[in-house]
C-alpha cells in the first residue's frame, strides 16, 4: 500500500498537460467546480488515467481525449468522498458507438426473458466498464439526451458495487442506511407505479428497472440537471447531496430545456 500511495503522489505532482486542461474545460458539468475542487479533480483524473487500462474495440484507437474525458467525469463522482479510485475497476472498454450485447431479464412473476439489447454502456461489478465513445463524447459536451450521461451512470454502478452488491444502496455510514432505504425505496416504488400506468415521469423510465438503475439514473440527473432534481425529487436530491458531498444545485443553473413535472 505504501508503494502504491507513493506512486500516486508522484503522479499527482506531475503538471497537468495543456491538452488535458482544454479537454476538461470543454465538459460543462465540470465548469461549476471551485478552484480547489478543480485541482482535486485534475489529480484524481491523472491517477485514473495512469492506473486504468483503456481499450478500444472494432478498430477504435484510444486517444488522450477519450481517456481524459472519461476519467475526469468519473473523478467528479468521488471528488469529495473517501475513495480508492474505483478499486474493483481494471479496464474501460470503448466501442465506437452503441453496440449489441446479450440481455437477460427476470419479470416480477419469475419469467426469464433472454435476447439482445442495444447499449451505450454497461458496468461489471468486477473488472470493467464498457462505453460507447459516440455517446460519451455527446454527453460530455452537453449535446446528448437531456439529463443523461453514460459515464456518470456506469461509474455510479461501480460505486454501488463497492460494498459487494449492486442493489442501489452504495457504501454509507452505518447511521445512514435506514434513511437512504426509506427515501429511495419510496421514490422507486412511486416511479414504478407511474411507469406501469404509462404516466410521464421526471426520471427516465429506465430508472424503474430496479433499484440499482434508479440510483444510477438519479445520479445522472444530480450532476447534469441538479436544480430540476431538487425541485422534483427534493428528498432524493438530499440523499445524493449527502452521499456525494456536493451541492451542484447551488452552483449550477437549470438549463433552458428543463421541464419539471
Looking at residue 255, its pLDDT comes to 46
8 A C-beta contact, residue 95 and residue 130: yes
Of the candidates 223, 218, 184, which has an alpha carbon nearest to the alpha carbon of residue 204? 218
What's this model's pTM, rounded to 2 decimal places? 0.90
Q: What is the separation, in whole angstroms, between the first and last Cα of the chain?
A: 49
The residues facing 119 across adjacent strands are 99
Residue 195 CB partners (closer than 8 Å, separation 6+): 201, 205, 208
Q: What totals of helices (H) and strands (E) does the chain contain, helices first?
A: 10, 6
- How does pLDDT run across 210-225, given as a tens digit for each residue? 999 999 999 999 999 9
8 A C-beta contact, residue 41 and residue 12: no
Residue 137 CB partners (closer than 8 Å, separation 6+): 69
All structural domains of the chain, each given as residue ranges with its CATH number in brackets, are 167-252 (3.40.390.10)
Looking at residue 115, its pLDDT comes to 64
How far apart, in whole angstroms, are the C-alpha atoms of residue 55 and residue 127? 13
Q: Pick out the chain residues at pLDDT < 50.
A: 107-109, 111, 254-261
Quickly list DSSP for 169-234.
-----GGGHHHHHHHHHHHHHHHHHHHHTT---SS-GGGGS-HHHHHHHHHHHHHHSHHHHHHH-H
Amino acid at each position: 500500500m505504501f508503494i502504491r500511495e507513493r506512486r500516486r503522489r508522484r503522479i499527482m505532482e506531475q503538471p497537468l498537460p495543456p491538452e488535458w486542461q482544454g479537454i476538461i474545460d470543454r465538459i460543462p458539468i465540470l465548469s461549476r467546480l471551485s478552484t480547489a475542487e478543480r485541482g482535486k479533480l485534475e489529480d484524481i483524473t491523472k491517477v485514473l488515467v495512469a492506473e486504468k487500462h483503456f481499450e478500444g474495440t472494432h478498430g477504435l484507437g484510444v486517444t488522450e481525449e477519450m481517456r481524459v474525458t472519461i476519467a475526469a467525469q468519473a473523478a467528479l463522482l468521488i471528488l469529495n468522498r473517501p475513495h480508492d479510485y474505483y478499486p474493483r475497476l481494471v479496464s474501460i472498454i470503448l466501442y465506437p458507438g452503441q453496440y449489441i450485447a446479450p440481455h437477460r431479464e427476470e419479470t416480477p412473476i419469475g419469467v426469464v426473458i433472454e435476447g439482445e439489447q442495444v447499449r451505450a454502456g454497461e458496468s461489471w461489478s468486477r473488472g470493467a466498464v464498457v462505453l460507447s465513445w459516440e455517446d460519451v463524447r455527446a454527453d460530455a459536451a452537453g449535446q446528448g439526451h437531456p439529463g443523461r450521461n453514460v459515464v456518470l451512470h456506469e461509474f455510479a454502478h461501480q460505486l454501488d458495487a463497492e460494498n459487494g452488491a449492486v442493489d442501489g444502496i452504495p457504501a454509507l455510514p452505518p447511521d445512514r442506511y435506514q434513511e437512504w432505504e426509506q427515501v429511495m425505496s419510496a421514490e422507486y416504488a412511486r416511479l414504478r407505479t407511474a411507469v406501469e400506468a404509462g404516466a410521464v415521469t421526471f426520471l427516465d423510465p429506465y430508472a424503474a428497472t430496479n433499484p440499482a438503475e434508479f440510483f444510477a439514473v438519479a445520479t445522472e440527473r444530480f450532476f447534469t440537471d441538479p436544480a430540476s432534481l431538487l425541485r422534483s425529487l427534493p428528498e432524493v436530491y438530499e440523499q445524493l447531496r449527502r452521499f456525494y458531498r456536493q451541492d451542484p444545485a447551488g452552483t449550477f443553473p437549470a438549463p433552458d430545456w428543463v421541464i419539471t413535472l
